[in-house]
Structure 1
Amino acid sequence: MAVESTLELESEDGRTKSDVNLLDVERKTMEDDDETKGKVIDSIEMTFKDTMIPSWKRQLTVRAFLVSTILGVMFSFIVMKLGLTTGIIPSLNVAAGLLGFFFVKTWTTALERSGLLNQPFTRQENTVIQTCVVATSGIAFSGGFGSYLFGMSDTIADRSSDANWPTRNMNVKNPSLGWMIGFLFIVSFIGLCSVVPLRKIMIIDFKLIYPSGTATAHLINSFHTPQGAKLAKKQVSALGKFFSFSFLWSFFQWFFVSDDTECGFQNFPTFGLKAYQNRFYFDFSTMYVGVGMICPYLINVSLLLGAILSWGIMWPLIKKQEGHWYKAGLGQSNFHGIQGYRVFTAIAVILGDGLYNFVKVLGNTGIKLYGQLKNKESRTVLPVANDGATKDGVEGPSFDDQRRVQVFMKDQIPTWLAATGYVAIAAVATITLPYIFEPLEWYYVVVIYLFAPALAFCNAYGCGLTDWSLASTYGKLAIFVIGAWAGKSHGGVLAGLAACGVMMNIVATASDLMSDFKTGYLTLASPRSMFISQVIGTAMGCVIAPCVFWVFHSAFPDLGKEGSEYPAPYAVVYRNLAILGVEGFGSLPKHCLSLCYGLFAAAILINVARDTVPKKWARFIPIPMAMAIPFYIGTSFAIDMCVGSLILFIWETRNKTKADAFGPAVASGLICGEGIWSVPKAILALAKVTPPICMKFLSKGMNVRVDEFIETLGR
């Protein structure tokens, strides 16, 4: 699953560290185990050679989908909370794999002891669970509840630069459970059909890596060895302990927040009141400490640098120009005032970074693809009958390769089915989407679906090379193209946001499916079972994600408002991207455009430097996309994530093996605990139950004045 990319980073780099760190866990565990000390296992499939592979139908069990539903709901709440607060969403593959293994293994062990077990728990079934859970919770991200979909609402329009447009009404569509579920069912499946015929080319012929899919497969394979199962139980135990701590800590904090957004531990002025006024403080969020433990160090440091640059330097300096660069007294949320600088400079950096990576990945994709097609015959001949044999001095495929190719090619998914599905879904979407979004004309939809398969292939191929999904970049491209085509007077903002949703879902699900195929290839899960579990998980997500969003929407009336607990910052960013697409830059405050040009160029130059300097120095150059996120949101989450990095760094210094093995489990527990607290918290809010205490921090002078005021009331 990709963070908006994996952090857009809103999602793409976020998962890599935790997943890849686990690649060596099985080997380290086996090296430390007394029975296997000194042995090196070179063939995974040789370990499982005496284990029967269940048919694709028997891989799709009722218990697998029951567990997937429970975990899918849980992770959807977590993803939704993250998406509505900062938009940084790490991969939950590790937690999904661990918890899926734990639940089903516990169930089957109990049945086995009682003599009632009919079907043992296999790594193929574990793969199905992981795929279904990630597909379900993935809709909570790609569905745009924290970005383009919620960006269509009145709430976000009030905070955007089109708040006073005469055409505002045609550019607004408020959330409703019915149309959101219908929209997601229309757009979420077509990406699966677009790349199914390419699975052999991507996985076997081109041998693409798909780092997250490969890491997940190694994780699942390790669980089902005796040593791996032993480690998995310890990891689940660690996850459970920190889940409990995170949940109980969040529950404790709730008592002190009253109904005032300035109350509670999350407003503790850690570095003093002056720093707190500029949003520099630690807010005691275990969720973002956990996210920081999963994200690479460079991302967390980049976030902190961006926070210092914006809230520590740029905004205080621009604030001094109030009355010169922009009118005085406009307020913090007016886009003709300082809010315009905050949002549009962040957009400039995001676009500069996104454009550079789009060109880079697309260029690399074209070059690699040309090279592989040019040498296709010499690279794709797999003499599966000759294990370890050589021909003309070239070593033949290993036993693992032979076994995997044999299983992967056994259960074919008919090409005609994928093609028919694509055409049918595209036809339905062309007819129905203009009814859901009036400014989105039918021919806009046709154009999107004509180009989508090529873009889906490019995204799936690029993700296979780099683990970097450009789904959000393709979505932003659709915002500008369709928004400008529709025009300001014909609902171009709403049309652009809707087009973003269509494009983003197509290319995101395409790369996710191919990554899952890679996982299935390495765990000997049938492509049919993988495809069906992805379809079922997607269908569950199309219902679960809107319902989870509706819980937040109903429980928190200030959802999406400036300064609220769930401000949905990326919804504002996406809406203003659409406004730029139809209006241009004329309405920006003084010198804002010059700052945007400078930061756009700086983002490109920083990326160029990262790719050209030696690797030993490149790892110290910050990531522009990560730097841009605090520009608008603030700094507290960046401090939380750096605390997570510091914890992990100290742990790795003391015992790297244990940190690699248990760090992701601890981080997942911290994330899941606070995330699941959202459920009872929302229920309490719906029941109109408010916390009894307001804990607020005041300066000494203000405290004296408050005491004096209270004394006058007593008289």
Structure 2
Amino acid sequence: MAVDRTLELESDDRRATSDANLLEAEGRTATDNDETKGKVIESTEMTFRDTVIPSWKGQLTFRAFVVSALLGVMFSFIVMKLSLTTGIIPSLNVAAGLLGFFFVKTWTKAMEQCGLLKQPFTRQENTVIQTCVVATSGIAFSGGFGSYLFGMSDMIASQSSDADWPTRSMNVKNPSLGWIIGFLLVVSFIGLCSVVPLRKIMIIDFKLIYPSGTATAHLINSFHTPQGAKLAKQQVSALGKFFSFSFLWSFFQWFFASDDENCGFQNFPTFGLKAYQNMFFFDFSTMYVGVGMICPYLINVSLLLGSILSWGIMWPLIETQEGNWYAAGLKPSSFHGIQGYRVFTAIAVILGDGLYNFVKVLGNTGIALHRQLKNKESRTVLPVATDGATVDGVGAPSFDDQRRKQVFMKDQIPTWLAVGGYVAIAAIATVTLPRIFEPLEWYYVVVIYLFAPALAFCNAYGCGLTDWSLASTYGKLAIFVIGAWAGKSQGGVLAGLAACGVMMNIVATASDLMQDFKTGYLTLASPRSMFVSQVIGTAMGCVIAPCVFWIFYSAFPDLGKQGSEYPAPYAIVYRNLAILGVEGFGSLPKHCLTICYVLFVAAILINVARDTAPKKLARFIPIPMAMAIPFYIGTSFAIDMCVGSLILFIWEKRNKTKADAFGPAVASGLICGEGIWSVPKSMLALAKVTPPICMKFLSKDMNVKVDDFLATLGR
């Protein structure tokens, strides 16, 4: 799964290639030396012309999968923590590529000194590691542990708008390690089979760029040049330093957190107690500072604007209507009170933004595909790719193009294997899934699998054009269609969430595999090794991700509870989407629906403005999807991310070259350090070891009252 350097919003799935800045600093090879127009440009593949390409089996080494498994576990913890806190997941490709390169280089150097090295480390093997690691950790995201899958649980149902339904028990399925692993094994592989027969059309005939896959390939190519290897060593050093700092800082903070959710540095009233009560504070999370350094400035500013709009303006105003718009004295988690406004307005913006981008990307995909097929016999290709150089500007294939095409077409994946695999897995799923989820009838599953290949193709093609995966949008579509079909009295909520998981996994893995084929095409990795590494990585993820989730689930009894350390905010959002699909809007508090309509239309209009305004202005127009995220979960993470943006901005002003080269490595270190701290933290929680200190902050008046009370106890 080759994703971008930007925010992989669980609800947004926007994928762009901000890795370009990094590549400018570290990935330039002879390809960039276009000395004269009209002459053959010295190519990347000429740089590697004396390097032997291993066979596809030779690319699948034991050491590659050992390193992939270790990194897969590490990144699964990171992705899981992010999924269960805010749902914002940045790209970890740079970290995966760097660490994979570093570990295998260290391995091969040790073997070489012992005289035991049989096979040198190649960029093809590096590509296999990259593919396998991201496929493994990707299951921690697409598995729905922070969204649709955990949204089925009783913990989330008790906080959702169906909490009082008499049929709630039909729409609840609590997590269990056995059925989760079984579910993922059934649904996670079929997407790989759906687009395999189209790999030549997508990569060679249509020349789709797949920006994330292309950026990853250039990164790997650069590592294996002498200059790139030297820079990679420096980047790993930077990553290690900030990893250590982040891990130790998280360890230090743990001592002050006690058992009370209001204790610790994460509740530091940075801007005063009044601002803290309205969720405006900096919580000293190095993870989200790192995420902010990776995400584009516009994403972070959009998050901050959404925080100000919701927690700074809307919620304080609506709270003044308590007793008028909604009953006074309701529980904070009641969807008939302020909680209903917070969740459903966020859903309205998510749906408006998602619908607009769904129509736009689907429309662009259809138009581009029509033009491509119409001009099939001409020299015209999609204006999205420049895979290699041309000769005399007339479009003659370059050495790079010829070499890559030769290798890409050498090891074919039989079409019968893909088609037969799809049919076999679909048949198994049709029998198995209704046994896991009783409301999900077998004919619902058949309908999903009949439409899935077309949707997988659309997602893979659109991702190749724009780098945007609409996997979660297709998942939400399945929620509404299957949920409404099943109905409220027949477990429609559970059926819709399960259908979301099936659809989301199919279309997500399809686009991910095609991204990997593009990476393999540009690094001369065999399509077979790409396919096998994706399968092995997915298989590892189907076991590793549920086990990682189970550690969190067992260690933190309040997992999924609003206000806890791991609130799993998107689980409630997805569950309420399913409730809307089967029930409609009748249960919303007063005027909530009107506000939702306004925000839904506003999200569409903002997107229209972004796409129609001149580029100079469009870059200042916020992204509605990013604005919606703080509506429900608060603002502290947005402030953390803006701090990360500020750090990167100052760094770029002082030394842009170094910032481009080392920024992603520093950010990855900050993310990984706090993410890995969750492992010993979970172990301590399972062992019933609690922090010894509770650090709280009180107002001056409250502190006087506490002192007076303590004084009375001492008499």
TM range (shorter): over 0.9
2:104 is matched with 104
| Structure-2 separation of matches of 1:666 and 1:14 | 23
CA contact (8 A) 2:253 2:264 kept: yes
CA contact (8 A) 1:267 1:283 kept: yes
1:491 is matched with 491
1:650 is matched with 650
Q: Give the AA of the match of 1:479.
A: I
Q: Give the AA of the match of 2:447.
A: V
The equivalences for 1:567-586 within 5 A come to: 567-586=567-586
How far apart are 1:379 and its partner, in Å? 3.9
| Structure-2 separation of matches of 1:15 and 1:605 | 21
2:667 is matched with 667
CA deviations on 1:88-132 (whole Å, 9 max, x unpaired) are 000111100000000000110121122221000000000000000
2:349 is matched with 349
Q: Give the AA of the match of 2:290.
A: G
Report SS of the residue matched to 1:418: helix
1:58 is matched with 58
- Evaluate the alpha carbon distance shift between residue 151 and residue 340 of structure 1 in structure 2; reply closer, same or farther with a 3 A threshold: same
How far apart are 1:17 and its partner, in Å? 5.3
Q: Give the AA of the match of 2:131.
A: T
2:678 is matched with 678
- Evaluate the alpha carbon distance shift between residue 627 and residue 517 of structure 1 in structure 2; reply closer, same or farther with a 3 A threshold: same
CA deviations on 1:521-567 (whole Å, 9 max, x unpaired) are 00000000000000000000000000000000000000001110000
How far apart are 1:21 and its partner, in Å? 1.9
| Structure-2 separation of matches of 1:15 and 1:490 | 37
| Structure-2 separation of matches of 1:680 and 1:413 | 43
Report SS of the residue matched to 1:409: helix
Instruction: Give the TM-score, by structure 1 length.
Output: 0.96
1:617 is matched with 617
1:701 is matched with 701
CA contact (8 A) 1:97 1:126 kept: yes
Of all paired residues, the percent bearing the same amino acid is: 87
Q: Give the AA of the match of 2:591.
A: H
| Structure-2 separation of matches of 1:455 and 1:434 | 22
CA contact (8 A) 1:606 1:621 kept: yes
| Structure-2 separation of matches of 1:553 and 1:465 | 39
Q: Give the AA of the match of 2:641.
A: M
How far apart are 1:25 and its partner, in Å? 2.1
CA contact (8 A) 2:67 2:104 kept: yes
The equivalences for 1:53-452 within 5 A come to: 53-379=53-379, 394-452=394-452
- Evaluate the alpha carbon distance shift between residue 4 and residue 168 of structure 1 in structure 2; reply closer, same or farther with a 3 A threshold: farther
How far apart are 1:10 and its partner, in Å? 2.4
CA contact (8 A) 2:11 2:625 kept: no
| Structure-1 separation of matches of 2:705 and 2:678 | 37
How far apart are 1:7 and its partner, in Å? 3.7
| Structure-1 separation of matches of 2:441 and 2:165 | 22
1:37 is matched with none
CA deviations on 1:354-397 (whole Å, 9 max, x unpaired) are 0000000000000000000111122489xxxx99667xx83311
Report SS of the residue matched to 1:698: coil
| Structure-1 separation of matches of 2:389 and 2:499 | 50
| Structure-2 separation of matches of 1:660 and 1:11 | 28
| Structure-2 separation of matches of 1:359 and 1:630 | 25
| Structure-2 separation of matches of 1:19 and 1:411 | 29
| Structure-1 separation of matches of 2:452 and 2:359 | 17
CA contact (8 A) 1:14 1:296 kept: no
| Structure-1 separation of matches of 2:498 and 2:6 | 22
The equivalences for 1:449-488 within 5 A come to: 449-488=449-488
Q: Give the AA of the match of 2:262.
A: E
| Structure-2 separation of matches of 1:580 and 1:287 | 34
CA contact (8 A) 1:17 1:296 kept: no
| Structure-1 separation of matches of 2:376 and 2:418 | 25
Q: Give the AA of the match of 2:603.
A: A
CA deviations on 1:311-347 (whole Å, 9 max, x unpaired) are 0000000000000000000021100000000000000
| Structure-1 separation of matches of 2:29 and 2:375 | 40
- Evaluate the alpha carbon distance shift between residue 250 and residue 31 of structure 1 in structure 2; reply closer, same or farther with a 3 A threshold: farther
CA contact (8 A) 1:15 1:90 kept: no
CA contact (8 A) 2:78 2:671 kept: yes
| Structure-2 separation of matches of 1:32 and 1:379 | 24
| Structure-2 separation of matches of 1:686 and 1:669 | 26
The equivalences for 1:502-651 within 5 A come to: 502-651=502-651
CA contact (8 A) 2:11 2:472 kept: no
| Structure-1 separation of matches of 2:701 and 2:12 | 47
- Evaluate the alpha carbon distance shift between residue 104 and residue 11 of structure 1 in structure 2; reply closer, same or farther with a 3 A threshold: farther
Q: Any unmatched runs of 5+ in structure 2?
A: 34-39, 382-387
| Structure-2 separation of matches of 1:349 and 1:674 | 31
| Structure-2 separation of matches of 1:657 and 1:397 | 33
CA deviations on 1:185-213 (whole Å, 9 max, x unpaired) are 00000000000000000000000011110
- Evaluate the alpha carbon distance shift between residue 374 and residue 472 of structure 1 in structure 2; reply closer, same or farther with a 3 A threshold: same
- Evaluate the alpha carbon distance shift between residue 530 and residue 27 of structure 1 in structure 2; reply closer, same or farther with a 3 A threshold: closer
| Structure-2 separation of matches of 1:247 and 1:635 | 23
Report SS of the residue matched to 1:378: coil
Report SS of the residue matched to 1:376: coil
CA contact (8 A) 1:5 1:468 kept: no
CA deviations on 1:242-289 (whole Å, 9 max, x unpaired) are 000000000000000001110000000000000000000000000000
| Structure-2 separation of matches of 1:330 and 1:12 | 32
CA deviations on 1:431-468 (whole Å, 9 max, x unpaired) are 01000000000000000000000000000000011110
CA contact (8 A) 1:4 1:11 kept: no
CA contact (8 A) 2:341 2:589 kept: yes
Pick which of 4-13 and 349-358 moved more: 4-13
Pick which of 22-31 and 120-129 moved more: 22-31
| Structure-1 separation of matches of 2:277 and 2:316 | 11
How far apart are 1:304 and its partner, in Å? 0.1
| Structure-1 separation of matches of 2:389 and 2:288 | 48
- Evaluate the alpha carbon distance shift between residue 122 and residue 309 of structure 1 in structure 2; reply closer, same or farther with a 3 A threshold: same
Report SS of the residue matched to 1:89: strand
Pick which of 114-123 and 519-528 moved more: 114-123
Q: Give the AA of the match of 2:508.
A: A
CA contact (8 A) 2:474 2:504 kept: yes
CA contact (8 A) 1:11 1:91 kept: no
Q: Give the AA of the match of 1:326.
A: Y
* Number of residue equivalences: 703
CA contact (8 A) 1:341 1:592 kept: yes
| Structure-2 separation of matches of 1:159 and 1:281 | 25
How far apart are 1:427 and its partner, in Å? 0.3
| Structure-1 separation of matches of 2:429 and 2:145 | 20
| Structure-2 separation of matches of 1:181 and 1:667 | 32
- Evaluate the alpha carbon distance shift between residue 110 and residue 380 of structure 1 in structure 2; reply closer, same or farther with a 3 A threshold: farther
> Over aligned residue pairs, what C-alpha RMSD do you find?
1.9
How far apart are 1:26 and its partner, in Å? 3.1
- Evaluate the alpha carbon distance shift between residue 86 and residue 411 of structure 1 in structure 2; reply closer, same or farther with a 3 A threshold: same
| Structure-2 separation of matches of 1:108 and 1:713 | 67
How far apart are 1:19 and its partner, in Å? 2.0
How far apart are 1:5 and its partner, in Å? 12
How far apart are 1:41 and its partner, in Å? 7.8
How far apart are 1:22 and its partner, in Å? 2.1
CA deviations on 1:395-447 (whole Å, 9 max, x unpaired) are 31110000000000000000000000000000000001000000000000000
How far apart are 1:11 and its partner, in Å? 7.1
Q: Give the AA of the match of 1:608.
A: V
CA contact (8 A) 2:30 2:42 kept: no
CA contact (8 A) 1:7 1:626 kept: no
Report SS of the residue matched to 1:137: helix
Q: Any unmatched runs of 5+ in structure 1?
A: 34-39
